[in-house]
Every structure is written in structure tokens, then in C-alpha cells.
């Protein structure tokens, strides 16, 4: 009988090579499954049963984080607990495909979590944010192009960082490889294309990266792709400059992209495809925005006679 530890190694290799998962995802799954196997203290797949899962869930629910083991408020969040369960379900599905007898993955239900609230900014605030890089210097041109591109495409910040300067601005669209190696098409607005052209025409360096460090940000010989942290700092800087009190991140721009589409009549399946979500469940966090939009319509137009 192949041990659970050996099967875990095979599973991690499978999701990396066959499923094209990122190394970060593989690393996370390795951590979650290692914690489970350490808790289980058994190495036979048949030892994974309803009772051991019940005990593991109790252990997760009571597990404390940080160094202060007396603070009961520092238990794992339901969302974090679900990360362990999602990894475990994926592992059990893999075992079932290998015809190894163990607990069926569907027997593991995820913990109920509070619905995510989206702390969005208004259209007026968005306009101020997009227009806040006002200079004609390279940094201002770059930063305006970054903000416009984020709102036009709904790109993840990691996807934005990976772009190269050979982007074809004669076209309204381009392909991007997202999570899990999945390729999707995103679209450029005329405003985004205009500011990208302005920025690229001012570039004097030879770097292949679309967005690079400028001026005093980094030594000249280190010019290259901006990091996720740098993009986050740029967005935060202009949100403050625009007088926006809410926290604004590159992911906020992605939220704004999605809610703008839905509020203007786009269907949720199309928005799912544009965002690159593998599951419609992930996209459904945005339906509350359109629900609010419908409530506003109802208040404005219902029973006005």
C-alpha cells in the first residue's frame, strides 16, 4: 500500500505538471496537507474517514494563531480553515481518480463564511484617481497608464507586472496568462491606449518590461518589471492625492472593473470570463452590487403614481 505521504508528493507533482498550478499554489497545498497528515498521525488512505475529518475540523476551529496562545480571539478564521479543507478535497479527488479507497471528497463541506463586502469608491472618486497623475514626466505618464490599464482590463496586479512593451496598441485586445496558466482575452479602452502610447513614446530605456522603474526609484542598471508592491504603492499614493479616504489597492480597481460592467448590464458569466475566475462562485460576490443597483431603481421608479 502506497503511504499518504508518498501520495501527497505524487498529488503535488500532478497539480504542478498536469494541472499547471503555480509554484505558490503547490507550496500552499503542501503546507495544508502536511498539517493534516501530522494531525492524522496515520499513513493509510483508509484512515481518512468521516470521524478523522470531524476531529480535524474541530482542531482547526480551536487552533490559535500567533504567539499569544491565551487570546481566544486569535483562532483561525473560517476562510483560512476552508483553505485546508479545499486542499484536502482536491487531494481526495486525486486519490479517487487513482482508484485508491478513501473518504469521498464530497463528504467534506466547507465552513460557512460571512459574505465579502466590497469597499468600493464612487464614480467621482474613480475619476479623480485616474486623473491624479498630472505631470508630463515619465513617472506621471507611467502611473496614469497603469491606473487606466487596471480599470480598462480588470487585470490582477501580478498579471499587470508580467506585461511586456511589445503590446500591440493597434488592437483593442490582448491575451494574458492568468492563474493556473489559463489564457484569457482582455480589452483596452481608447483612454487606456492613449495613455499607454504617451508613456511608451517617452521611454528611452531598452527594457522589455511594459512598466519599469523611473527616476530615483532604482539605479539605472536595475531597470526592469515593476513589482506587485511597487504597483500597490503607486495606487495608494494617488488615492491619497485624490483625497480618497478609503483603502484603494490594485484589486480595488479589479472590483471597480467588474461592478462597472455588471451595473451597466453585463451578464455574470461574461464578467467571470473577463476576470479569469475558474468558478462562478468567486464572481458572485459582485451580484450584491447589482442587487443594490436594482433596489435603487425600485425606489426611484416604483409606485410613483
List residues bridging with 64 in a β-sheet. Answer: 75
Q: Say how far apart CA 258 and CA 186 lie, in whole Å.
A: 12
Mark whether 254 is an active-site residue. yes
Residue 179 catalytic? yes
Helix, strand, coil: what percent of the chain each, to 5? 60, 5, 35
Q: Strand, helix or coil at 69?
A: coil
Catalytic site includes residue 29: no
- Annotated catalytic, 156? yes
What's the grid cell of residue 183?
489564457
Write down the catalytic residue from 5, 19, 247, 251.
Answer: 251
DSSP letter (8 states) at residue 77: P
**Which of 156, 213, 225, 255 is an active site residue?**
156
Catalytic residue among 57, 179, 228, 288: 179
Q: From the candidates 89, 213, 225, 277, give the one annotated as an active-site residue.
A: 277
> What separation in angstroms does the CA of 127 have from each of 10, 135, 249?
50, 16, 15
CB 109 within 8 A of CB 81: no
- Catalytic residue check, 288: no
Catalytic status, residue 251: yes
Selection from 168, 148, 144, 143 nearest residue 226 by Cα: 143
Active site residue: 29, 94, 199, 286, which one? 286
Separation of alpha carbons 144 and 132, rounded Å: 8
Helix (H, G, I), strand (E, B) or coil at 173: strand
- Residue written as cell 508528493? 9
Rg (CA), the chain: 23
Q: Which of 144, 195, 213, 254 is catalytic?
A: 254
Can you read off the three cell numbers belonging to residue 241?
492625492
Give the catalytic positions in this structure: 156, 179, 251, 254, 277, 286
Amino acid at each position: 500500500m502506497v503511504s499518504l505521504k508518498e501520495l501527497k508528493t505524487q498529488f503535488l507533482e500532478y497539480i504542478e505538471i498536469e494541472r499547471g498550478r503555480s509554484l505558490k499554489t503547490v507550496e500552499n497545498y503542501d503546507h495544508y496537507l502536511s498539517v493534516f497528515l501530522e494531525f492524522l498521525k496515520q499513513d493509510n488512505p483508509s484512515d481518512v474517514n468521516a470521524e478523522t475529518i470531524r476531529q480535524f475540523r474541530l482542531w482547526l476551529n480551536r487552533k490559535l494563531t500567533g504567539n499569544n496562545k491565551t487570546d481566544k480571539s486569535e483562532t483561525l478564521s473560517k476562510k483560512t480553515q476552508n483553505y485546508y479543507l479545499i486542499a484536502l478535497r482536491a487531494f481526495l479527488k486525486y486519490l479517487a481518480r487513482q482508484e485508491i479507497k478513501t473518504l469521498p471528497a464530497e463528504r467534506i463541506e466547507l465552513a460557512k463564511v460571512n459574505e465579502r463586502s466590497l469597499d468600493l469608491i464612487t464614480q467621482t472618486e474613480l475619476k479623480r484617481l485616474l486623473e491624479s497623475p498630472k505631470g508630463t514626466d515619465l513617472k506621471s505618464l507611467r502611473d496614469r497608464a497603469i491606473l487606466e490599464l487596471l480599470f480598462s482590463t480588470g487585470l490582477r496586479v501580478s498579471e499587470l507586472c508580467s506585461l511586456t512593451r511589445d503590446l500591440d496598441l493597434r488592437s483593442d485586445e490582448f491575451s494574458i496568462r492568468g492563474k493556473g496558466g489559463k489564457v484569457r482575452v482582455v480589452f483596452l479602452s481608447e483612454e487606456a491606449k492613449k495613455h499607454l502610447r504617451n508613456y511608451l513614446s517617452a521611454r528611452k530605456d531598452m527594457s522589455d518590461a511594459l512598466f519599469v522603474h523611473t527616476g530615483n526609484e532604482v539605479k539605472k542598471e536595475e531597470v526592469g518589471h515593476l513589482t506587485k508592491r511597487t504597483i500597490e504603492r503607486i495606487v495608494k499614493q494617488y488615492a491619497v492625492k485624490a483625497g480618497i479616504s478609503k483603502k484603494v489597492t490594485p484589486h480595488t480597481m479589479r472590483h471597480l472593473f467588474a461592478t462597472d460592467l455588471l451595473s451597466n448590464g453585463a451578464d455574470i458569466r461574461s464578467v467571470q470570463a473577463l476576470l479569469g475566475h475558474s468558478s462562478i462562485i468567486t464572481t458572485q460576490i459582485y451580484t450584491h452590487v447589482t442587487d443594490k443597483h436594482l433596489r435603487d431603481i425600485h425606489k426611484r421608479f416604483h409606485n410613483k403614481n
